[in-house]
Structure 1
Amino acid sequence: MRLRSGIRKVLPAALLLAVVSTAVVAVPGVTAAAAGTAARVDVTWENTSSWRTGFRSAVTVANGGSVKLRGWRVLLSYESKAVVIRDARKVASTSRSFTVAGPTRRVDLAAGGRATFRVDSRKVSGAKRVPTACTVVGASVPCSVNGGPATPGTGGPTPVPTAAPVPTPSTTPTPTAGPPVADKDGSVVVGWRTVNAWSSGFQSSVTVTNRSSVRLDPWQVRFVYAARVAEIWDATATTTSDGFTATAPAWARGLDPSAATSFGLTSISTPGGGRVPTGCSIVGLPAGRDVACTVESESDPTAGPGSAPTPTPTPTAPAPSPTQLPVPTPAAPAPVPLPAPHVGDTLVAPYVDMGLWPTADLRSSAAATGVRAFTLAFIVSDNGGSPCTPAWAGFDAYRIGGPQDFAGNIAAFQQTGGRVVVSFGGAVNEELALRCTDPAELQAAYQQVVDRFGVDRIDLDIEGAALSDTAANERRAVAVAGVVRAQAAKGRSLEVSLTLPVMPTGLTREGLAAVAELSAAGVRIAAVNVMAMDYGTGPQRMATAAQDAATSTAAQLASVPRYAGWTAQERLSAIGITPMIGANDTGEVFTRTDAEDLARWSVAHGIEVLAWWEVTRDQPCTPSIPTYMCSGVTDAPWTFARAFVRGATS
């Protein structure tokens, strides 16, 4: 980002991976396997903050019994609209309820254990802001909200302790129904759920549960599948003559007996083909082993009607130019459902330059503007210390972990329900990967920042000479991918956005290469965030130029393998936009009207993140205010922030 001193999703959100114990209560697709019963589940719901159009809640799900709940799911009767859930998975929703499940790698709820998550909700006129009831899905376990009346679970009979074996008399044994299975080592059950669908393809969430007695290392499942896999995550895919084979990722190869794992994929529809495999088999088994495989389909109300999409030929034409992208007008046909964010899902998170003095008070800024998230800039290499030491703006005094790293300022804002994104890089100083060449130390530096501030999203602002440093780009991609995996192993998600310079015609060649490098390293980029500023091409309508930059970049992403199978709208929903408010460095002026119009357009088109540079500048210049801390125009303080919020919520 230009500094004047001297940001499912679309595509898959959380996917489960867990090694489970033997004492469980069954939920859908998982068999009860041990003794004991769970006495009850208690949900504690506390609304922690509120704004004009919505509110945030902290939720705890406590297992009060003596038995682990494997793959726990709880349906909450809820009259408000749950929009964003963090540290848990929303697996289904209706107009008056939603079902939440355990997050990645924490799908189970231990006896006496607790799961905590956050919910951001949209206010609904006359609706209650606390669930009226809760129901444990798939197990006969009562559930209550905030100590209220308990609702019985929806499962079958609660498992009871298994009696000790009784010797069978030497008489004719009781016949076994169905074909003999004595030659099998058990089975692997695949749960296949369609979570989004659009005109030419769909997205699926897949669970693989090993009910056999054999450790699968690596696990490999071959699917008879009519559709064509466009992208897969948390597994690798190899095309076969009648479908594809999914193989374990390098970081989670083995699948023990009674364990479960998962992966996700997007697929391109084929004429007459369905969305669910018609068969599966386990490959790569140890000699002498025979494990069966079955596919169980689970419907999802968000996937649209029908079991298969309307057949659409796979497009062969080049990706459309920005002028060819669909622009909604009153006369346009109804939009085709796409797996992209809807109104209200755009993250509004302006930048705050933490290197300025005095440092912005995040809590006060939020209260004055209605902004609920900030992108804090910039973490770079400590100019006066170790190259692998992270510091705000490179100042020794602002080293991360030191007494002046603004942890108190940040925590005070987070305690009000605010969300913080930490940005690495910027136009000045040196981003960590430029100076820190030791891979382990570089990953540790990023991890230190994530842990210090407890963030679930980081931003990589790469520009200037840093953008063409191939070695640094590769180091950064590998290190960040390692941090994402480390967070996932702890049951925590970490989103990553990539901020790049742009023109109305799109990214530079180096910028597009940076997207490809980060994606190839295994990082699923939450947003390619374009710096819609400082074009240097003369006066122009800056909101329109920002929209052109976003649509041009979305079209360019078609050349990156990860995005090749996506529609134009899906690619647009993976874009972020960051203009500079007021007077830009090269003469253009971004106005209050531009702010409101761009915010309204961004939300309507599913833009993933909307930011601006920068919060401190949202005031007119005076003789007592340095030029780098003011907008260069005469608008009153907070004019731009309030215009962005107004446009995003109107």
Structure 2
Amino acid sequence: MLRPIPTRRFLPVVVLLTLLATTVTAAPAVAATSTQVSVSWRNTSSWSTGFRSAVGVTNGSGATWRGWKITFAYGSAATVFRDVRRVSSSTSVLTVAGVTGRSDLAKGATASFRIDSRKVAKARTVPTSCTVVGAALPCSLNGGKATPGRPPASPTPSPTPTPTPSPSTGRDGVVSVGWLNNSTWTTGTQSSVSVTNRTSLRLAPWRIRFTYAAAVDTIWDASASSVPDGFVAAAPSYATVLDAGAATSFGLTSTTTGGAGVVPTACTVLDLPAGTDVACTVGGGPVGAPATPAPAPEPIAAPAPLTQPRVGRTLIAPYVDLGLWPTADLRSFATQTGMRAFTLAFVVSDNGGSACTPAWAGFDAYRIGGPQDFHANIAAFQASGGQVVVSFGGAVNSELALQCTDPAELQAAYQQVVDRFGVDRIDLDVEGTALGDTAANQRRARAIAGVVAAQAAKGRHLDVSLTLPVMPTGLLDEGIAAVRGLTAAGVRPVAVNLMAMDYGQGSRPMAAAAESAAVATATQLAAIPAYAGLSAAERLSMIGITPMIGLNDTGEVLTRADAQALAAWSVANGIEVLSYWEATRDQPCNPSIGAYMCSGVPEAQWSFARAVVTGATG
């Protein structure tokens, strides 16, 4: 589940593999030099209009490759990128780079990512060559002939001064700021600010000075310091780098006096390397109500709220992304949605600290045990009778087992989260490159088995669910291997939870597709020893289903009717857990909120939650 910057969805935001695997034959291998970059490009699946590729970029040089970037001669049309950042693309050239937080590649290390592409008539589905950008390193694709790299151009002395750039352009590009005033009151306003680095420079750390007539009161996801004509916004400690082509965001509240404007009139990027010239532009709007969205259908009547987390034997526990801002108030969400349980996403490695330090969304400020780990929010919901499930992993950031390689420290990290929030159920969301990381999967399985045993020794039970990508035809091989690995370590998941979303197969009835995936996966479990001897109905009762409400990343749509029908089917068939991605998205889109925080369809707020409750209890 993907969470775009500044947040995540299932990701968190996850386009699932198809079973129509198309293996590409690699070019004949040649002797690799010790100073080259080696790329493996393998097409792993295909559908009528496109295909998916698994790509690995290995740094064969003797030093860390800073801010890695690589260009491919590529005739197909790349459309979806996972664990990699698109820098530019055209009809014949594709340039990608490391994502923020993973933009450097140590010597001998490999950056793995996936790309979905649209088929182009007569175009090859594998690049014909690769070229390293910014370093004099040769690049070899699938063992073929190496292409020389493109090192940074040496500056050419100019006999005349460089002309002063216009206010909207700089010689080396522009940092563009989008400023949106979400709400206003008599003496102040709240604003959402996006910052996009449209240069070829890596800003580390980034700082921007704003000419601003109002006075900043509070700021989040950045820090602020006053200057005579405005303020300086600086990168937060947990996300200091703004790579070329990347974006970040922050929010603030301001006090206005004497009718002062609440959109900056100018901005300046600070701390630039000597000799560089970067412009800064601000685009914003006046204070006022956000633009009125298209008329939404009337919401369905609010059903009676759930009296407990389960309906029959089915746990109803939608995901809530705690990495979003503003942070969800769980008690308020329960009141408005009628839900009595939530799956909280995602605990991963702290991007600003130790690899074995757990943190919500990887933010240093949100590390577990710290003052901002949402303990009070979670405890208040639990005290009201609500149940929480803590989910580890997701599509963005690094799940603990990927980075924390010490077995004892890894188990301690999981244990810390269980103890901190007093939960009796956790969820392991394994997707993307993490799903194929055999060593990490083994580490995770052993560590979780240790936590389960430790809880049992204290007289406490701990349920574990395993969330995996799926197709309507069932799990992929990697998913089946993940289930086998966890059960081999002695932990049989209480639910194999299916990400019933993002199939990439065009428009289809999404409720029926999810039901098909559940039945197919239950059949697949019969071949795993831990499930031997169980009936088909018993195996089906060990399945979980998690669709993405509204518009999926691939254009498919789970409608409100689909949600209600799937809830009814799940309860009738004794599905272990029914969830959806993600509670915050249960609202129509409008210009005042990010696309990752709305459903993409014109349904009134909480319509999907009410449809699920109606279907489950009807």
Q: Which residue of 1 aligns with 2:417?
A: 449
| Secondary structure of 1:515 counterpart | helix
Please list every run of 5 or more consecutive structure 2 residues that lacks an aligned counterpart in the other structure. 7-309
Structure 1 counterpart of 2:440, from 472, 479, 482: 472
Aligned to 2:293: none
Q: SS of 1:414's equivalent?
A: helix
What's 2:495 paired with?
527
The aligned counterpart of 2:136 is: none
User: Residue 619 in 1 paired to residue 554 in 2?
Assistant: no
- SS of the aligned residue for 2:380 comes to helix
Matches for 1:326-405 after TM superposition, within 5 Å: 344-405=312-373
Which of 397, 401, 412 is the matching residue for 1:429?
A: 397
* Residue 501 (str. 1) matches residue 500 (str. 2): no
1:343 touches 1:604 (CA, 8 Å); kept in 2?
A: no
Residues 1:604 and 2:598 are matched in the alignment: no
Aligned pair partner of 2:534 in 566, 572, 576 = 566
The residue type paired with residue 534 of structure 1 is: D
Aligned equivalent of 2:523, options 546, 555, 559: 555
Q: Cα offset for 1:5? A: 4.1
Q: Aligned AA for 2:371?
A: P
Alignment of 1:408 onto 2:382: no
Equivalents in 1 of 2:575, 2:550: separation in Å? 22
8 Å Cα contact 1:542/1:590 also seen in 2 = yes
1:356 partner letter:
L
Q: What do the CA deviations read for 1:234-273 (whole angstroms, capped 9, x no partner)? A: xxxxxxxxxxxxxxxxxxxxxxxxxxxxxxxxxxxxxxxx
Alpha-carbon deviations, 1:126-185, whole Å to 9, x = none?
A: xxxxxxxxxxxxxxxxxxxxxxxxxxxxxxxxxxxxxxxxxxxxxxxxxxxxxxxxxxxx
For the structure 1 residues 346 and 591, does the alpha-carbon distance in structure 2 shift closer, same or farther, using more than 3 Å as the test? same
SS at match of 2:323: coil
* Pairwise CA distance, 1:463: 0.3
**How far apart are 1:479 and its partner, in Å?**
0.3
Q: Deviations over 1:501-557 (max 9, x none)?
A: 000000010000000000010012100000000000000100000000111111111
The amino acid across from 2:477 in the alignment is R
Once the two structures are superposed, what CA deviation does each residue of 1:457-506 show, in whole Å capped at 9, x if it has no partner? Answer: 00000001000100000000000000001011111110000000000000
Displacement of 1:369 after TM fit?
A: 1.3
Structure 2 counterpart of 1:548, one-letter code: S
Structure 1 SS opposite 2:508: coil
Residues 1:511 and 2:479 are matched in the alignment: yes
Aligned pair partner of 1:592 in 539, 560, 572:
560
CA contact (8 A) 1:619 1:631 kept: yes
Q: 5 Å matches for 1:49-198?
A: none
Once the two structures are TM-superposed, the CA of residue 559 in structure 1 deviates from its matched residue by 1.1
Q: Distance in 2 between matches of 1:478 and 1:624?
A: 45
Q: Distance in 1 between matches of 2:438 and 2:410?
A: 16
3-state SS of 2:461 partner:
coil
Is contact 1:349–1:372 with CA below 8 Å preserved after alignment? yes
CA deviations on 1:577-632 (whole Å, 9 max, x unpaired) are 00000000000000110010000000000000000000000000001011000000
> Quick one: distance in 1 between partners of 2:475 and 2:5?
25
Match of 2:3 in 1: 3
Tell me whether 1:481 sits opposite 2:449 in the alignment: yes
Q: How many residues align?
A: 316
Q: Indicate if the aligned counterparts of 1:5 and 1:356 stay in contact, CA closer than 8 A.
A: no
Q: Which amino acid aligns with 1:575?
A: I
CA positional deviation for 1:3? 2.8
- Inter-partner Cα distance in structure 2 for 1:4 and 1:551: 31
Q: CA RMSD in A?
A: 1.2
Q: Aligned partners of 1:476, 1:427: CA distance in 2, in Å? A: 16
In the alignment, is the contact (CA less than 8 A) between 1:500 and 1:528 conserved in 2?
yes
Amino acid at match of 2:3: L
Equivalent residue number for residue 279 of structure 2: none
Contact persistence 1:349–1:374 (CA under 8 A): yes
Q: Which has more radius of gyration?
A: 1
Within the alignment, does 1:579 sit opposite 2:543 as a pair? Answer: no
**Counterparts of 1:524 and 1:539 in 2: how far apart (Å)?**
35
Q: Percent identity?
A: 76
Aligned partners of 1:593 and 1:643 also within 8 Å: yes
Residues 266-345 of structure 1: matches in 2 within 5 Å? 344-345=312-313
Task: Report the counterpart of residue 420 of structure 1 in structure 2.
Answer: 388
Question: Is the Cα–Cα contact under 8 Å of residues 344 and 649 in structure 1 kept in the other structure?
Answer: no
Structure 2 Cα separation of the partners of residues 605 and 4 of structure 1: 34
Q: Shift of the alpha carbon at 1:343?
A: 6.1
* CA deviation map 1:95-144 (0-9, x unaligned): xxxxxxxxxxxxxxxxxxxxxxxxxxxxxxxxxxxxxxxxxxxxxxxxxx
| Structure 1 alignment gaps of length 5 or more | 7-341
Deviations 1:617-650 (A, max 9, x none): 0000001011000000110110001110111111
Tell me which amino acid in the other structure corresponds to 2:613: V
Question: Whole-Å Cα distance in 1 between the matches of residues 352 and 384 of structure 2?
Answer: 34
1:462 aligns with 430
Among 585, 598, 613, the alignment partner of 1:630 is 598
For the residue of structure 1 that corresponds to 2:468, the secondary structure is: strand
- What letter corresponds to residue 613 of structure 1 in structure 2? W
- Aligned to 1:503, what secondary structure does the other structure show? coil
Deviations 1:347-406 (A, max 9, x none): 000000110101111000001111000000000000110000000000000000000000
Q: Distance in 1 between matches of 2:329 and 2:465?
A: 24
Match of 1:295 in 2: none
SS at match of 2:499: strand
1:566 Cα deviation (Å)?
1.2
Deviation at 1:2, TM superposition (A): 3.0
SS at match of 2:526: helix
Contact 1:5–1:628 (CA<8 Å) still a contact in 2? no
Q: Secondary structure at the match of 1:472?
A: helix
